[in-house]
A = this chain, B = another copy of it.
Amino acid sequence: MAMTGVLRPGHLQLRVLDLEECRKFYRDVVGLVDMGTDAQGRVYFKAWDERDHNSLILRQADTAGVDFVGFKVLDAAALNELEAKVRAFGLATERIPAGEMSETGERVRFQLPTGHLFELYAEKKKVGNGLGLVNPPPWGKDAERGIAPTRFDHCLLYGPNIAANKKLFTEVLGFFMVERILGPKEAGEPEIGIFLTCGHKTHDIAFVEHPEPGKLQHVSFRLLNWDRVQRAADILGMNRVSVDLSPTRHGVTRGETIYAWDPSGNRFETFSGGYEPYPDYEVITWTFDEFGYGLDYPTGKLHDSFLGVVT
């Protein structure tokens, strides 16, 4: 199999301050499919074009942020093999039993050097995208309920020591680096942002160097195209959602994007665009002085909230 080991971002558990308010928000505004509640009271969502049971999980908590991120691997053998490699890399791993999350198999969990809990799993119930497997239409009703992204695409996490994360993801987990952001010249241009994929996307996960561990900058959902970014922007306006960045083009990854905050203050992105990098591609570098264009290509402007506000 050419695609093997780690396949894709599978789930992300988000802490929210008011579960019912956020449930409504992710269902009616973001337009995810509500997959129900588990015994712990957590709420499960999937994006309409995902075929597995869930991808976003909300947990009521006193602080916003991310509990953990999980990636799906090809099969049980890959799970075992990857766990062994992670241990050999020097990280402790924990097996969380199947069923602890709804419709999800056993998970191998470990803590990243940046402080985030990261999981691998091989099984999640296949529920389909609602279009069927025989002569399916290209989309259905759920594709126009709220913003209606097609999938959980990636997340951007903030924490210390992203160099160690890079080593783990590229040498152990089979990712490669697509783009990176450098720090200031006077600091020797260290890598302060790295964008990694396990497939041929511009990013399946990204990290930015940050003193506090375990922080979430944003969780990102994919849209079909720039017209859908506009539609997302309109829906955010209609619902008076707090928006961090107007529709724009990222220089980094060429994404077409809009950022906003959920009612608990977790930032999310809905975006389209990008390109198709492969493991033999050379890395693209954004220098510190031009990073304004990396963030907001039309204007070249940085804004404080994007750089500083995390959960």
Complex copy number for this chain: 4
The interface residues of chain B lying within 8 Å CB-to-CB of A139 are 234
Give per-residue flags for A213-240: 1 if the beta carbon is below 8 A from chain B beta carbons, else 0.
0000000000011110010011011101
Tell me the complex Cα distance, A310–B284, Å: 39
Whether, in the assembled complex, A187 has its beta carbon less than 8 Å from a beta carbon of chain B, the answer is no
With known contacts A4-B2, A225-B227, A237–B200 Cβ distance under 8 A: no
Tell me the complex Cα distance, A278–B281, Å: 21
Whether, in the assembled complex, A248 has its beta carbon less than 8 Å from a beta carbon of chain B, the answer is yes
Whether, in the assembled complex, A34 has its beta carbon less than 8 Å from a beta carbon of chain B, the answer is no
Whether, in the assembled complex, A49 has its beta carbon less than 8 Å from a beta carbon of chain B, the answer is yes
The interface residues of chain B lying within 8 Å CB-to-CB of A5 are 1-2
The closest CB in chain B to the CB of A134 belongs to B285
Q: Considering only CB atoms and an 8 Å cut-off, how many residues of chain A contact the other chain? A: 75
Once the chains bind, are A240 and B2 in contact (CB under 8 Å)? no
Once the chains bind, are B150 and A275 in contact (CB under 8 Å)? yes
With known contacts A2-B199, A138-B297, A278–B237 Cβ distance under 8 A: no
With known contacts A49-B275, A226-B227, A278-B7, A137–B237 Cβ distance under 8 A: yes
Whether, in the assembled complex, A80 has its beta carbon less than 8 Å from a beta carbon of chain B, the answer is no
> Contact partner of A279 among B7, B273, B281, CB < 8 A?
B7
Tell me the complex Cα distance, A275–B230, Å: 16
**Among residues 110 to 146 in chain A, which have CB atoms less than 8 Å away from a CB atom of chain B?**
126, 128, 133-139, 144
28 inter-chain pairs at a CB distance below 8 angstroms, sorted by A residue, are A1-B5, A1-B176, A2-B4, A2-B7, A2-B173, A4-B279, A7-B280, A72-B280, A74-B279, A126-B280, A133-B285, A135-B290, A138-B251, A226-B230, A227-B227, A234-B298, A236-B298, A236-B299, A237-B249, A237-B298, A237-B299, A245-B246, A246-B247, A246-B296, A246-B298, A246-B299, A247-B298, A258-B298
A: residues with CB less than 8 A from B are 1-8, 49, 51, 72, 74, 126, 128, 133-139, 144, 150-151, 173-176, 198-201, 224-227, 230, 233-234, 236-238, 240, 243, 245-249, 251, 254, 256, 258, 273, 275-276, 278-287, 290, 293-294, 296-301
